[in-house]
Chain A
Amino acid sequence: MTELRLEGVTKRYGTDGSGTVALRDVDLTVRDGEFFTLVGPSGCGKTTTLRAIAGFETPTDGTVRFDGEAVTDAAPEDRDVGVVFQSYALFPHMSVAENVGYGLRYREPPAGTSVDERVRELLELVDLEGMGDRDPDQLSGGQRQRVALARALAPEPDLLLLDEPMSALDARLRESLRRQLKRIQSRLEITTVYVTHDQAEALAISDRLAVLRDGRIEQVGRPREIYREPSTRFVAEFVGDNNVFDASVRGRDGDRTRVAVDGSDREFELADVPAGAERVSFCVRPAALARDADANRFAVEIETSEFRGERVRTYGRWDGGSVVLQFDAETLLPSDPDGLENGATATTDGGTDDNGADGVDDGGDVAIDGDVVVGFAPTDAHVLETHSAEQRR
């Protein structure tokens, strides 16, 4: 259907452009039929980007293209986009059916269907058949959000834009709506841009995603890429839990580089460190810190643990600072049933950010009563940035 491109899009506020900068030189391509997510902390520019795509904001610089055609200055009503807002923004003075049919006042329904048929079709699509005569304020939050989705989709837009559509809903409802949204999106093959601050949601739902920070794109990629190979320290820390280490290069053994982590005497071996680097930052996912790893072992003093069903997330300290670990709950609990109560705090928090993209290295039953020794394979460490001598100055 439609490919979306942003080329050098910049948005400044203030009369002479001297005010705050919301977007800096954003380049982005969303492929036809792709589910693309913009994720980042609040104020990162993700919503501004969405609004520039929808036409609610005009970029100070740069171009927005739908299928190659520049729409930068086109009014929202001329862009054929469907938008779903966090607040639902249903029209309270119209019935559900009128809400869904609203876009068909200005855009033709798909060939061969009447307005009424199209409205019925859409209500069915979002599992709200027979609710057409209700008023929006008679619906639950989830139902309202589905009406908003149906309303946005009714005129068959080229693009579907969703601005934090789930953040007002509770966790369970959010997951089920997410699945429903994904199902509908793949069925319709509609190019979709989804904005969220929730990185777990972003990883779960997207074909590809972009991580934004301070109005800039930090990284674009498929969820697995972003998770496994964050390109910046920010992405590494923002997407999922991560352990980031800063270290100085001590020497090289073939393709391995020996580094000393700041604050600790322990030397680690890393792979893939560019030649000439003096300083290096790298990250290791909690799941990669395994008790049975051969290399790079170090002792961690455990502070707290959170029970998360299948797994236990553990927070601890070592010479080099704090560290996050993850263990398989099955292997942990039977060996020392009191361990959690004595040495750590267990929580049964809803566990919303449990991504579980990787399995846990199972090293057999180990009791956790204060200390644990873990290690990681040099290839599991992902190098984020390096500094050579000249760069440091």
Chain B
Amino acid sequence: MSLADRLVVDRRSAGAASAWLERRALSLAALGTAAVLVVVLYLPVGLVFVEALLEDGSPTLGHVAEVVTDPFYFGVLADVFAEPLAIGDHLGALVGWLGGISIAVTLASPVPGLDLPVPWLAVDLPPVRKGLFGFTAYQAALSTVASVAIGLPAAYILANYEFRGRRTLRSLTILPFVLPGIMVAVGFYAMFGRTGTLNTLLGAVGLGPFAFVETSPLAIVILAHAFYNAPLVARLTVSAWESVDARTVETARSLGASPRRAFRDVVVPQLVPAVLTGALLTFIFTFMTFPIVLALGGLQLATVEVWIYDRVQRLAYGEAASLAILETVLSLGLTYAYLRYESARAGLSQAPSPPPREALFPDVRTALSPRRLAILGYGLVALVLFVGPLASLVVGSFTDGSGFTLRNYAFLLERQLEGASFQTRPVPAIRNSLLFGLATLAVAVPMGVVISVLTVRAGRSGRLVDTLAMLPLAVSGVVFGIGLLQGLVFGIPLPGGWRFQVTGAVAIVAAHAVAAYPFVTRNVSPLLATLDPAMVESARALGASRTRALLDVELPLVASGIVAGAAFAFAVSIGEFSSTVILASGSEHYTMPVAVERYLGRRSGPAIAMGTLLLAVTAASFVVVDRVGGRYEL
């Protein structure tokens, strides 16, 4: 008997318990996923949402109706909601508005501070009251466009060109994702402020100073949203691009398509789902954006989430929950529409043979070609937008009024060495962040994969479950936090003086996993949908359990999606702040973003130093995650 034989026999005679477990692993994992979701998501969120739908114990739509008919929230639409049947009046109003439009050709100087007149088609629209929801959607739409526009070139370059540090750069695209809002705000002011880095650099060549932030707060907020989300779009698109089957392009070329047409006809359709996923996520995120808008843009740019926060502060849960429900309905509606689209175009080719990468700057001549120059130009923009704020933060951590200083890091060191037990120390924060990040990976990846596996071929009901599975992204962060507080931290009273409470590390990891698994699902589902179902059936007929077939066949074939999802899961956990701070029982479960927040005193130096540490640790982790994960990619 050979060794392999004996292994097989061993496996066959292995304990009945483990066989039982393996056989039901998928059902158990689904059950576990459901349990985590119920305890950490549905219960807490349900507790708050119910406030909008109950009035003194009886069901009502009054709160919601009040919100949708309030012009402050819904602008001109409020009238329509208030009297949906008065169609004549609404049409009249519309006609009146259309009559007010005037179009003129004028000269404008689009570049702030530069007196460079450009002929401009000025469309003068009469003002429309957008209301809070309208404005929120408006800025989210603009942010989505900006994020996609800035993210796609990065994806193009990372997927199609080879250069030193490409892999590392790809790993680091996720970095902005983990930064606390206050750090981004400080970084942006440090980069784009009137005395910021950019103006200093421009000043050196005799330009400026320009009031970048002041000239258009909305533009800065949109850029900050792009700072967060363009890397998301880029990352999703790169992994789709890398799984494009190069042979399909070659086929198209051999059939007479020019490179441009082959790109349009063959590559683009394979990228669209990833780009749309990125756009959808960006829209949802920026619709529910909170700290960054008011930190950079000011109260004029307030979003719905700002009002939810305010209502929660005043313990006016009915109104807060109504606003949050409307947000969620909108987000889930978009998600459902997207998933319908995604499933309508399943059945792409598999077994990728990725397109070959060109050297970015092989020689001087090529380097001066228009395409390379455009790439260079984009690189400069990316440098200013992404590296600028981050680098300015790092520089800020080393400076104070008298120039270079190490006192911010000295503070961290001193706190680590001499800090009292009730104080926040850097090393435990780093340790907790990494541990929670890894634990989140271990929970969120199976959760996301299980949901993908269960929904991918389940038709309409699968799509519904899949949509609901996106709930963590579609629920107001503020409401989620309050739900966690009321549901898990305070506990649910049970008979006999007992309380059901979940706090501490387990709850934090569960909450992180709940926030993170949709990224796994969204990365894995599209790939899984393209797999031949006969592959799994073959494996099962050959004796593999459903779980085994998943592990032997499906997972290796969607590994690139899992790795991409896992990276996001890790990033979500590292960057998560609001639920961590609520669930951290006692003082021992704080993470790096929490430490940043706690060090934020009258002077921002220590917090910025901690933020720099957060950046460094995250960057190092991601290089490792991608290196380790890269081995699993095809």
Contact = CB atoms under 8 A, between A and B. Distances in A.
The answer to A–B direct touch (Cβ < 8 A) is: yes
Contacts of A56: 537, 540
B350 A76 contact: no
Q: Which residue, of A77, A104, A107, A157, has the highest number of chain B Cβ atoms within 10 A?
A: A77
A139 interface: no
A102 B440 CA distance: 32
A223 interface: no
B546 to A, nearest CB: 7
A107 B351 CA distance: 28
A208 B293 CA distance: 75
B204 interface: no
Nearest to B557: A93
A116 interface: yes
Interface residue tally on B, bucketed by range = 20 to 34
B538 interface: yes
Nearest to A78: B543
B10 to A, nearest CB: 11
Contact of B540 (A75, A107, A151): A75
Q: Which of B8, B9, B557 has the most CB of A within 10 A?
A: B8
Contact of B542 (A92, A114, A155): A155
A76 B1 CA distance: 28
A327 to B, nearest CB: 44
B89 interface: no
A108 B2 CA distance: 12
Give chain A's interface residue range (CB within 8 Å of chain B).
35 or more
A40 interface: no
A54 interface: yes
Nearest to A104: B8
A93 B548 CA distance: 15
A77 B541 contact: yes
Contacts of B535: 89, 91
Interface stretch (A79-87, A239-247, A350-358): A79-87
A114 B5 contact: yes
Q: Is the interface of B mostly helix, strand, loop or mixed?
A: helix
Contacts of B8: 104-109, 115
B542 A106 contact: yes
A54 B534 CA distance: 12
Contact of B2 (A54, A92, A116): A116
Contacts of A151: 538, 542
A107 B543 contact: yes
B4 A114 contact: yes
A123 interface: no
A152 interface: yes
A129 B112 CA distance: 73
A108 B4 CA distance: 10
Contacts of A272: none
A155 B543 contact: yes
A80 B538 CA distance: 12
B2 A77 contact: no
A96 B12 CA distance: 24
A30 B203 CA distance: 88
Contact of B534 (A81, A85, A107, A114): A85
B310 interface: no
B25 interface: no
Interface string A133-177: 000010000000000100110110100010000000000000000
A286 interface: no
A59 interface: no
Contacts of A83: 537-538, 541
Nearest to B634: A93
Contacts of A109: 5, 8
B224 to A, nearest CB: 41
Contacts of B542: 77, 82, 102-103, 106-107, 151-152, 154-155
Given A75-B546, A83-B541, A102-B539, 4 more contacts: A77-B542, A105-B544, A114-B1, A151-B542
- 3 A-B pairs closest in CB distance: A106-B543, A103-B542, A89-B534
Interface of B: 1-2, 4-5, 8-9, 11-12, 23, 350-351, 532, 534-535, 537-546, 548, 552-553, 556-557, 634
27 contacts: A54-B541, A75-B545, A77-B543, A77-B544, A79-B541, A82-B541, A83-B537, A83-B541, A89-B534, A89-B538, A92-B350, A102-B544, A105-B11, A105-B544, A105-B552, A106-B11, A106-B543, A106-B548, A107-B8, A107-B543, A108-B5, A109-B5, A114-B2, A115-B8, A148-B538, A151-B542, A155-B542
